[in-house]
Structure 1
Amino acid sequence: MGYILGYDPDTLREIVDPEQCSDRLDEIGEQRSLPSLLERVWLLKVLGRLDEALAVAEQAVRVARMGGTRKDLLRARVLHGTVLQNRGAYAAAIQEITTCAEEAEGQDWPLLAAFAYQHRGKVHYDADDYAAARTDFKRALFLRQEGGAPEEQLESTLLAVDAAERRRSRVSVAG
């Protein structure tokens, strides 16, 4: 999505222009295609409208299950997991994203698996489990390299690895 201006080095959350995201949300309106639903979920999530994001994420999973490909369903479920994460439901998010990561790896879809591991790492990061976050980010980096991911994806994963290492070091020094 072209709305990401960068990533907060401390929270790893996307930095976006809220006005641009709101305008795009208005443009999409109530379109029901899977790509539109997935985009709406993401926009609602980054705008902090988590109740709406959850409802649309559940709808996107249903639409993907009924008429999308297996990859579409996994993407929708990972996105659903990120909404759960933002709502503080870390265990549910980890469970949802883990099944997606494992299936993507089993199907030999390295970029989709990397997408899932990157997001599961962010859940671990939010839950203050920096060692698990670092492990997931490193796995995502490996899969992204293997799959020929674009440079900006590799950079965002490297940023996440560094952030998890910094936090882990801070926690072990403080403890």
Structure 2
Amino acid sequence: MSYIQGYDPDTLREIVDPHRCRERLDEIGGQRNLPAMLERVWLLKVLDDLDEALTVADAAVRQARMAGTRRDLLRARILHATVLQFRGSYAAAIAEMTTCAAEAEGQGWSSIAAFALEHRGKAHFDAGDYDSARADFKRALFLRQESEAPEDQLESTLMAIDTTERRRAEASIAV
């Protein structure tokens, strides 16, 4: 079940129902399996409990490194990087997502590469680097189209491109 109701057209952040997210957090509880941990990280992140999200993300990366697949580890690292982004650590988030995107593309895992690139684009966007954000979103769109991603993923990427182009235009007018 998706908890995402849409994306804020100005910030590119997920729009969620906080009540449903908290209910799901309660359901998951302290489960230690990797899918539950990753879901907890995301829920904590969108609920703005970033300290706890980072703690759980660190544990999820360790668990994926010890007992998961390479794909699991990439997903955990990308999610960890999104928490860093939300905390304002853009350089660290971008560096981690860059490594993950390169590894995923090298393995031919287009959907994971697109996921990493879209989130790296969001980190660039938050940092005010709209040219880099736009390039990442366009590459993510290409990979998603190539891998026949679901329509909602294509739409979120297209919205990110539109928002970034609007911000670039606003920034150039302000200068």
TM superposition score category, shorter chain reference: over 0.9
Partner of 1:51: 51
Mark the runs of 5 or more structure 2 residues left unpaired by the alignment: none
Q: 2:32 maps to what in 1?
A: 32
TM-score (norm 1): 0.99
Structure 2: which amino acid aligns with 1:35?
Answer: P
CA distance, structure 1, for counterparts of residue 148 and residue 34 of structure 2: 25
Pairing of 1:47-86 with structure 2 (within 5 A): 47-86=47-86
Q: CA RMSD in A?
A: 0.5
Aligned AA (1:22): R
State yes or no: 1:118 paired with 2:97. no
Give the corresponding residue for 2:108.
108
SS at match of 2:10: coil
- Secondary structure of 1:9's partner? coil
* Structure 1 residue 42, shift from structure 2 partner: 0.1
Match of 1:23 in 2: 23
Matched residue SS, 1:15: strand
> For 1:136 and 1:127, how far apart are their aligned partners in 2?
14
* Aligned equivalents of 1:62, 1:163: Cα separation in 2: 35
Partner residue of 1:172? 172
- 1:110 offset after TM fit, Å? 0.6
SS across alignment from 2:5: strand
Deviations 1:33-74 (CA, angstroms, capped at 9, x unpaired): 000000000000000000000000000000100111100000
Quick one: which amino acid aligns to residue 167 of structure 1? R
* TM-score, with length taken from structure 2: 0.99
Give aligned pairs, total: 175
Indicate yes or no: 2:127 matched with 1:127.
Answer: yes
In structure 2, how many angstroms separate the alpha carbons of the residues matched to 1:27 and 1:154?
30
Residue 126 of structure 1 deviates from its aligned partner by 0.2
Tell me the distance in 2 between the aligned counterparts of 1:133 and 1:156. 14
Structure 1, gaps ≥5 residues long: none
Q: Distance in 2 between matches of 1:162 and 1:17?
A: 25
Deviations 1:127-155 (A, max 9, x none): 00001000000000000000110000000
CA-CA distance at 1:174 after TM superposition: 1.1
